[in-house]
Amino acid sequence: MARARFLLHLLVLSAACVSTNAAATGFSFSRFVSADRGANVTVLGDANIDQGALQITPDSLNDAATYLTHKSGRVLYATPFRLWHREEAGGRHGSSSKLANTTAGGKRVASFSTVFTVNVFRPNGTEPAEGLAFVIAPSAEGPPAGSSGGYLGLTNASTDGDAANRIVAVELDTEKQPYDPDANHVGLNVHSVVSVATASLTPLGVQISPAAPATKYDVWVDYDGAARRVAVRVAVAGTAKPPRPVLAAPLDLGAAVAEWSYFGFAASTGRKYQLNCVLAWNMTLEKLPSGDDGGGRRRALGLAVGVAVGVAVGVAAVAVVLAYVCVAKRRKARSGEGSGSAITGTMIRSLAGGPREFEYREIRRATNNFDDRMKLGQGGYGVVYRGVVVGDHTSPGGVGSAVDVAVKKFSRASTQGQNDFLAELSIINRLRHKHLVRLVGWSHDNGELLLVYEFMPNGSLDQHLFTPAAGRQLLGWELRYNIVKGVASALHYLHDEYDQRVVHRDLKASNIMLDAAFSARLGDFGLARAIETDKTSYMEEAGGGVHGTVGYIAPECFHTEKATRESDVYAFGAVVLEVVCGRRPRCDIEGFHFLVDWVWRLHRDGRALEAVDARLDGAFDAAQAERLILLGLACSHPTPAERPKTPAIQQILLGSMPPPPVPPFKPSFVWPATDAGAGLDTMSTTAGTTTSQLSLTSASTWSGSFMKGSLRHAFEQEATDSLA
Ligand SMILES: *[C@@H]1O[C@H](CO)[C@@H](O)[C@H](O)[C@H]1NC(C)=O
Ligand SMILES: *[C@@H]1O[C@H](CO)[C@@H](O)[C@H](O)[C@H]1NC(C)=O
Ligand SMILES: *[C@@H]1O[C@H](CO)[C@@H](O)[C@H](O)[C@H]1NC(C)=O
Ligand SMILES: *[C@@H]1O[C@H](CO)[C@@H](O)[C@H](O)[C@H]1NC(C)=O
Ligand SMILES: CC(=O)N[C@H]1CO[C@H](CO)[C@@H](O)[C@@H]1O
């Protein structure tokens, strides 16, 4: 499947071959004056323009403790630049020579070169700290609160490492933190002040902030958008650009930063301070075509893919050869050593801000040698254990803290899928949202795969809704409403806010975990799916998996065998009704076999509120309940295009938009949908975003054998029911 889509993508791209237009844009500051402020630079936080230079942190003769220490500032060029765009069909850009690179991620990324002159001044008799950075930021916002000290005006204790920062920086660091090599280095930072690559400047004879005399340096940052690599050079100001970079590293700006981003500088001081001055700055940037984006192009791509499918048969032979060449090349490029899993492991290890890699014995110790008493659950994939690991800098409690985790241990029998799985992990590791269960880390020693998740003290939603254990309180209305809101916000993040558009594929009550505050955390991103066909999630009782999945699967999936954003919304609708009614989606009630049909009937009869969980004993907000019921039904619409989208769902839940009108009778399911392509995640999305086996939305693992068996039967039964 993935290969087929890759071929299609190739076809689409090769159909769009027109010579590249290497237009460039940029600017040049030989000095900075106050008139620049607001005109072409935005000065933020503790920054200032003074003495012909950008003073990223204050320059003052006044009392250091008040005016110079614990500061953070930023200065950004006033307008953002387009750093990447999705490579799509019908484009006037792109060339066949770029095929291999643009296909990775489906994006074209702009190259740029910049050089700036810095003077990091250390007042006589002081020790310098903390550092100055060249930054690419998603907005013209100032340095976050708490970004002084080691955070360099980039992040703070709560946001560091969060992919939502969408920040990339090249730091000139003058303070050694536990994660730094020394107090005089350059580092590449992606979403975090913990660099993904560092190089000491001391061997070059460069002292960022020398005791005396003060020294100006030129710093070159060159980014190759085609090769996705960055190179940094440093030399005494006025001397030639060195032939060899001091730091060179892979960097995919297409994945790391916002499409339109700001360039500039950030810096901070801590207990100790330095003056962080930028004296001059030149920048040239490849100008990406600014064509129309959004809906129009999306549809155009759908069309183009449609056409491509038409001609594919004829061209397939050529394309297969091409694809094999490309794939082989890519493999070769990636390898360098050993087997597939080693490659993938290396790949993950090199990912910025990703989960941490554990040693097998660390996990073994954490789970008391996988003691039975630590078992949380079991399924066909293996076993889930509870455990405690030692925290690192990414842990909320900091280095050395105790972190409660749930460890998913995959059984050996299913190792063959591990490479695909690890590849999928490379996308998952960048997802960060407060309503997603955090993947803390992983281990892949001796072919044994372990995934380490944040432990959720309150288990999963289904445990609270359906089988309240002894002593467990019934979930009150307010918590229920908040849980639905949390799930909606996580889904919106996956569908629309994250740049790669992820489809969860397996949304259900047993995959919605509850943290200590009973806030919803979406877990299990079809992670297990790449490995085995068992649908049991780790908190579920053994054997309940497949059964529990019925009722969450959208009707069209039985025909397309493909998960889409619309099918996620369908599952979300099922969850909403479950939460309101306290019943499973598949349940026998008053002659109906599915909860949704029963609720729809009550809705028709104007008795919808009677569907609310009787155990609440009337303790619920009627307006909210009605809103949820209508929303749940609207999301359960048999026609995918009729289901609300996540932005609307959020508005409805906030009460800022009325619930969608719901017809009195459940419309019947028609396939194929007459109105295919009306904003649907059909072929277009698949081709646009899933360009390799890496993607989560890949349908290759979706069509488990369960689809073809008795469940399809069960589902057709449902379709019939609803017609009755
Ligand atoms: C920045 O704006 C100032 C004031 O308008 C102008 O004099 C200067 O030439 C501009 N510099 C650049 C590099 O655009
Ligand atoms: C720096 O301080 C030292 C003593 O700490 C002093 O001898 C020297 O003259 C000072 N240099 C300057 C430029 O003030
Ligand atoms: C970090 O920054 C975020 C966003 O600016 C802010 O909401 C949060 O309060 C800050 N956290 C700390 C610890 O200062
Ligand atoms: C920046 O650009 C100006 C004008 O184009 C040039 O004179 C200067 O040498 C450049 N600076 C560096 C460090 O290359
Ligand atoms: C044509 C082109 O620019 N190819 C580049 C694609 O990216 C790899 C590295 O990932 C480069 O080595 C190629 O030169």
Q: Whose CA is nearest to atom 4 of ligand 4?
A: 28
pLDDT class of 269 with cuts at 50, 70, 90: very high
Residue 1: both structure tokens together: 């499947």
Distance 212 CA to ligand 2 centre (A): 10
- For residues 188 and 52, membership in a common domain is answered with yes
- For residue 608, pLDDT over 70 is answered with yes
Check residue 37 and give its pLDDT. 92
- For residues 417 and 530, membership in a common domain is answered with no
pLDDT class of 716 with cuts at 50, 70, 90: very low
Ligand number with the minimum distance to the CA of 282: 4
693 vs 580: CA distance, rounded Å? 38
Q: Indicate which atom in ligand 4 lies nearest the CA of residue 115.
A: 13
Residue 369 belongs to domain with CATH number: 3.30.200.20
Distance 227 CA to ligand 5 centre (A): 4
Ligand number with the minimum distance to the CA of 225: 5
Check residue 518 and give its pLDDT. 92
- For residues 531 and 550, membership in a common domain is answered with yes
What are the distances in angstroms from CA 631 to CA 153, 567, 580, 589? 42, 15, 11, 21
How many degrees, rounded to 5, is the angle at CA 233 between CA 229 and CA 238?
145
The rounded mean pLDDT for the chain is 75
Handedness of CA 309, 314, 315, 318 (dihedral sign): positive
> Are the C-beta atoms of 476 and 620 separated by less than 8 Å?
no
Segment 593-599 shows an average pLDDT of 93
- Catalytic residue selected from 506, 568, 597, 681: 506
How, if at all, do strands 439-445 and 356-357 pair? parallel
Q: Is 409 annotated as a binding residue?
A: yes
* 124 CB within 6 A, ligand 2: yes
Of 158, 160, 167, 191, the one to substitute when testing ligand 3's pocket (max ligand atoms within 8 A of C-beta) is 158
Distance 282 CA to ligand 4 centre (A): 6
Check residue 104 and give its pLDDT. 52
Q: Which residue type sits at 268?
A: S
Check residue 368 and give its pLDDT. 85
Q: Which residue type sits at 422?
A: L
Question: For the chain, what percentages of helix, strand and coil (3-state, to nearest 5) are there?
Answer: 35, 20, 45
Q: What is the largest CA-CA distance in the chain?
A: 88
Distance 53 CA to ligand 1 centre (A): 14
What are the distances in angstroms from CA 401 to CA 385, 481, 515? 19, 33, 19
Residue 156: both structure tokens together: 């703070």
Ligand number with the minimum distance to the CA of 124: 2
- For residues 415 and 271, membership in a common domain is answered with no
* 213 CB within 6 A, ligand 2: no
Of 61, 121, 122, 124, the one to substitute when testing ligand 2's pocket (max ligand atoms within 8 A of C-beta) is 124
* 671 CB within 6 A, ligand 1: no
- For residues 657 and 523, membership in a common domain is answered with yes
DSSP string over 303-370: HHHHHHHHHHHHHHHHHHHHHHHHHHHHHHHH-SSS-HHHHHHHHHHTSTT-PEEPPHHHHHHHTTTT
Q: Which residues pair with 50 in a beta bridge?
A: 53
Task: Decide if 307 is inside a domain.
Answer: no
Residue 571 belongs to domain with CATH number: 1.10.510.10
- For residues 588 and 651, membership in a common domain is answered with yes
78 vs 36: CA distance, rounded Å? 10
> Are the C-beta atoms of 168 and 195 separated by less than 8 Å?
no
- For residue 650, pLDDT over 90 is answered with yes
Of 433, 454, 475, which closes a domain? 454
Q: Is 35 exposed, middle or buried (0-12, 13-18, 19+ CB in 10 A)?
A: exposed
Residue 124: both structure tokens together: 């006589």
Q: Which residue type sits at 333?
A: A
Distance in Å from the first CA to the final CA of the chain = 37
Q: Whose CA is nearest to atom 11 of ligand 5?
A: 227
- For residues 194 and 221, membership in a common domain is answered with yes
Model confidence over 368-406: pLDDT tens digits?
888 888 888 776 567 889 888 887 777 777 777 788 899
pLDDT class of 17 with cuts at 50, 70, 90: very low
Task: Decide if 565 is inside a domain.
Answer: yes
Residue 202, sorted as left (phi over 0), alpha (psi -120 to 50) or beta, turns out to be alpha
> Are the C-beta atoms of 174 and 274 separated by less than 8 Å?
yes
Model confidence over 126-140: pLDDT tens digits?
999 999 999 999 999
Distance 191 CA to ligand 5 centre (A): 25
- For residues 344 and 247, membership in a common domain is answered with no
- For residue 76, pLDDT over 80 is answered with yes
H helix or E strand, kind and range, residue 135 = strand 131-137
pLDDT class of 366 with cuts at 50, 70, 90: confident
Of 437, 454, 471, which closes a domain? 454
Q: Is 147 exposed, middle or buried (0-12, 13-18, 19+ CB in 10 A)?
A: buried
Higher pLDDT, 393 or 250: 250
> Are the C-beta atoms of 438 and 369 separated by less than 8 Å?
no
Distance 254 CA to ligand 1 centre (A): 30
Higher pLDDT, 692 or 630: 630
Residue 279's nearest CA partner among 72, 37, 54, 121 is 54
Higher pLDDT, 525 or 573: 573
Task: Decide if 723 is inside a domain.
Answer: no
- For residues 425 and 478, membership in a common domain is answered with no
Of 14, 17, 101, the one to substitute when testing ligand 5's pocket (max ligand atoms within 8 A of C-beta) is 101
What domain count does the chain have?
A: 3
* 39 CB within 6 A, ligand 1: yes
CB-side exposure of 403: number of CA atoms within 13 Å?
25
> Are the C-beta atoms of 562 and 486 separated by less than 8 Å?
no
Segment 335-362 shows an average pLDDT of 54
Residue 629: both structure tokens together: 């019921």
* 234 CB within 6 A, ligand 4: no
- For residues 641 and 524, membership in a common domain is answered with yes
Q: Which residues pair with 217 in a beta bridge?
A: 118, 236
- For residues 561 and 663, membership in a common domain is answered with yes
Which ranges of 513-563 does DSSP label H, i.e. alpha helix?
545-549, 557-560
Segment 616-645 shows an average pLDDT of 95
> Are the C-beta atoms of 210 and 229 separated by less than 8 Å?
no
Residue with token string 């323009």: 49
Q: Indicate which atom in ligand 3 lies nearest the CA of residue 157.
A: 13
Task: Decide if 300 is inside a domain.
Answer: no
Handedness of CA 415, 417, 423, 429 (dihedral sign): negative
Task: Decide if 295 is inside a domain.
Answer: no
Which has the minimum average pLDDT: 378-387, 412-421, 610-619?
Answer: 412-421
- For residues 149 and 170, membership in a common domain is answered with yes
> Are the C-beta atoms of 384 and 369 separated by less than 8 Å?
no
> Are the C-beta atoms of 217 and 208 separated by less than 8 Å?
yes
pTM of the model: 0.47
Check residue 431 and give its pLDDT. 75
> Are the C-beta atoms of 190 and 196 separated by less than 8 Å?
yes
pLDDT class of 218 with cuts at 50, 70, 90: very high
Task: Decide if 480 is inside a domain.
Answer: yes
Of 36, 75, 263, the one to substitute when testing ligand 1's pocket (max ligand atoms within 8 A of C-beta) is 36
Residue 584's nearest CA partner among 549, 633, 539 is 549
Distance 96 CA to ligand 5 centre (A): 12
Task: Decide if 298 is inside a domain.
Answer: no
Residue 438's nearest CA partner among 402, 475, 403 is 403
Residue 140 belongs to domain with CATH number: 2.60.120.200
543 vs 519: CA distance, rounded Å? 27
Which has the minimum average pLDDT: 211-225, 512-526, 624-638, 695-709?
Answer: 695-709
Model confidence over 48-67: pLDDT tens digits?
999 899 999 998 777 888 88
Of 288, 323, 351, which closes a domain? 288
What are the distances in angstroms from CA 153 to CA 130, 167, 198, 267, 354? 10, 11, 18, 5, 21
- For residue 524, pLDDT over 60 is answered with yes
Segment 83-94 shows an average pLDDT of 61
Respond yes or no: is residue 675 known to be catalytic. no
201 vs 183: CA distance, rounded Å? 9
> Are the C-beta atoms of 235 and 242 separated by less than 8 Å?
yes
> Are the C-beta atoms of 100 and 293 separated by less than 8 Å?
no
Model confidence over 107-127: pLDDT tens digits?
889 999 999 999 999 988 899
> Are the C-beta atoms of 87 and 94 separated by less than 8 Å?
yes
Q: Is 504 exposed, middle or buried (0-12, 13-18, 19+ CB in 10 A)?
A: buried
Residue 593's nearest CA partner among 584, 602, 604 is 584
With H, G, I as helix, E, B as strand and everything else as coil, classify residue 226.
Answer: coil
Residue 710: both structure tokens together: 């008795």
* 100 CB within 6 A, ligand 5: yes
Model confidence over 166-211: pLDDT tens digits?
999 999 999 998 888 899 999 999 999 999 999 999 999 999 999 9
Higher pLDDT, 510 or 150: 150
Task: Decide if 55 is inside a domain.
Answer: yes
Please give the residue range of the domain that contains residue 421: 313-454
